[in-house]
Amino acid sequence: MNNLEQTLSIIKPDAVERNLENEIKEMFKIKGFSILKEKKIQIEKSEAEKFYKVHETKPFYNDLCDYLSSGPIVVMVLEKSNAILGNRELMGATNPKDAAEGTIRKKYGISIDKNSVHGSDSVENAKIEIDFFFKD
Ligand code: UDP
Ligand code: MG
pLDDT (tens digit per residue) in 54-75 = 999 999 999 999 999 999 999 9
Helix (H) or strand (E) holding 73: strand 73-81
Index of the ligand 1 atom closest to the CA of residue 113: 7
Phi-psi group of 42: left, alpha or beta (phi > 0 → left; psi -120 to 50 → alpha; rest → beta): beta
Other beta carbons within 10 Å of 6: 21
Q: In total, how many domains does the chain have?
A: 1
Q: State the pLDDT confidence band at 136, using cuts at 50, 70 and 90.
A: confident
- CATH number of the structural domain spanning residue 29: 3.30.70.141
CB 90 within 8 A of CB 30: no
8 has pLDDT over 90: yes
Q: Find the helix packing angle between 83-91 and 21-30, rounded to 10°.
A: 130
* Shortest-distance Cα residue to atom 22 of ligand 1: 94
pTM metric for this prediction: 0.98
pLDDT at 1 exceeding the cut of 90: no
User: Measured between alpha carbons, how far is 21 from 15 in angstroms, rounded to an integer?
Assistant: 7
| Residue ranges making up the domain that contains 59 | 4-133
